[in-house]
Structure 1
Amino acid sequence: MSSSTSSHRRSRSDHASTSPSTSSYGQVIERSHPPSVISGLVEEEPNEPQSPQSPTTDALDPIRDQVAQTIVLRAVRKAETIDGTQVGVVTTLPHSSGELFLKTIASHLKRTMLPKQESYLFILTLPTQGLSPVLVCSSSGNLAERAGLVLQSKFLNRVERHELRHGRWGALIRDLCTTTYDEAALWDAVRKAARHPIDPLVPPPGSRSITQILEHARARLERISPQQAYEELQDNTVPWSVVLVDIRPEAQRRTYGSIAGALVVERNVLEWRFDPRCAYRLPIADRYDLRVIIFCQESYTSSLAAASLHDLGMLNATDMIGGYAAWKDAGLPDEVEVSSTAPPTEGRISVPVENS
């Protein structure tokens, strides 16, 4: 082993010996990370194996090596394939070997994937209190760099230091994996970085046009005509409340007119006002069988809005075919009587979302 690697290991051994913590796996080790940690993290391990007689050999090295092999085999089995690249996220338990153990995993991963001649991209993490080391290892430096850039954007103001070297991207991230967001963000970063560059004029796989989105939304609804909507509002025999909801912006209501008695809830706050689980819901939105009839000017936005309420569990929600324009064309009155159980409302006032 080279003198630089030996001195690097001696420095880590000295550091561990002065710590009150032991080197048992799973124990949280509180320690600071000098700037040299990042450089050491992205350095590759030497190809030649360490001699058993080397004075810097740690008694736990064989155990770490075996654990690293097991972690790699499990990670490869669970890996996803994105555009021909094997991707995954490995989170290890904190222990005293720290960044050295991540490098050991990276070396085993390289030796495992190299014979297969497959493209791969893995993010290796070791969450600790404070700053946590993260190592991105890949079959190409370009993939590692892309993943690093995505990580920087996802963990904004939390990446303390980072460096790209030898096809590896290493960094220290503050308070890693303290929330469910972090693990999801790590997976999202590795998936997005592995995607092949695409023609900006070609729709990405899995995307849908607005026409397709609209068709899918309407397939979920039992849409009704303006006349049917008017009759439902006048029917006092139904066991549930019925509300007519105008989601048009104020400018459209001023230009084309409105229906007095309809509940005005502009589109940007609709879900917050009709989610029974939300603290900012309307008083009437306290049950999931509420009949919500939504309309906009021509019934395009209203279909998407009604489908969104279905996602909240408001399965009685629907929209009015043709919107306000069809209501006017049908000669229906400009004023309706809202359901007897609906709360009084200022018909032309939209309540903004409150800050939580």
Structure 2
Amino acid sequence: MIGYRMVGSTQGSIARSRSDTTDPASVVEERALVPRSSSPPLRTLDDVRDQVSQEIAVHTITKARYMDGVRIGVRLVMSKSEDEYFLGQVAGRIQHQLSLHEHLFAVGTTAQTARSASSTLIICGSSPDFVQRAVLLASSKFIGRVIAAKTKDYRWVATIQDLGVSPYDEDALWDVLSKAARSPMDPLAPPPGSKGIDQILSEARAKLQRISPEQALDELRETQVGAPTFLVDIRPQAQREKEGGIHGSLIIERNVLEWRFDPRCTARLAIADRYDLRIIVFCQEGYTSSLAAYSLQQMGLLNATDIIGGFGAWREAGLPIDLDRRDARSLVSLAGSVV
């Protein structure tokens, strides 16, 4: 009993001593730090969208794949309004979190409304080259469905018709990113058996007896040659109208040349009824014409050749040319009935 009272007395004195030495100001300060029970602040729609954009960005990065060291990802989400702004938030967070890594991502909305069946698609990346390659590929994948597009800050923002309606769209986007992110091939290590254009051109010219503009004009005026001789302009219409032409030349654009001169083809010209025709082909500078003339030779028209330097060399030599665009258009219309 004495021990109990002593302990109690001691505890009381300790309690009184603590109470006596406590600073009232510190008590008020400690109470001020204790949170009071109150309702949490109301969250706005912007707060919710900001949180959702963060979650989508994290999830999209988590599900990303790698292609040649580049992280790629696709995410299509539902959004009823402000598609571009919301997707911009998602793209911005992805770019921020992967700022130190090479990446290429596509995020889009699939919401369809009664007013419009269009949706927003954003392609963003760590490199303008990645984005540009992806844009070119995406434009091909969604040909006829890109309503509007703009490029800004390593991003391509487009309005796509019926995006996400078919499972094809997501697969197409993965394919676009995979191909756009691949490392460029070494131009010095081409596939076996392939040839560069310089080699192809050199081999074609080795089969031709190319002639100068003066020699071509002499041949056209020659009366002792038995085979019919034709000067053939294979340049596109826009180039003929801009640069001029050679009056009397036969205008047959490159894309139909073989069909018009092959004696075995039902689409041939009436004059293409024999294989000994002397066909002198020219383009603007004498490159395409060499390949065209060699192609005619491969079909059996062994007298085909081209003009060294093309129309440019013909004009510089002071030979007759036609600069009247109205006459050039009349020639084009005449060739159009043939070609």
The structure with the largest alpha-carbon Rg is 2
Q: Which has the higher contact order (CA 8 A, sep 6+)?
A: 1
The TM-score, its normalising length taken from structure 2, stands at 0.42
Structure with greater helix share of residues: 2
Give the TM-score, by structure 1 length.
0.40
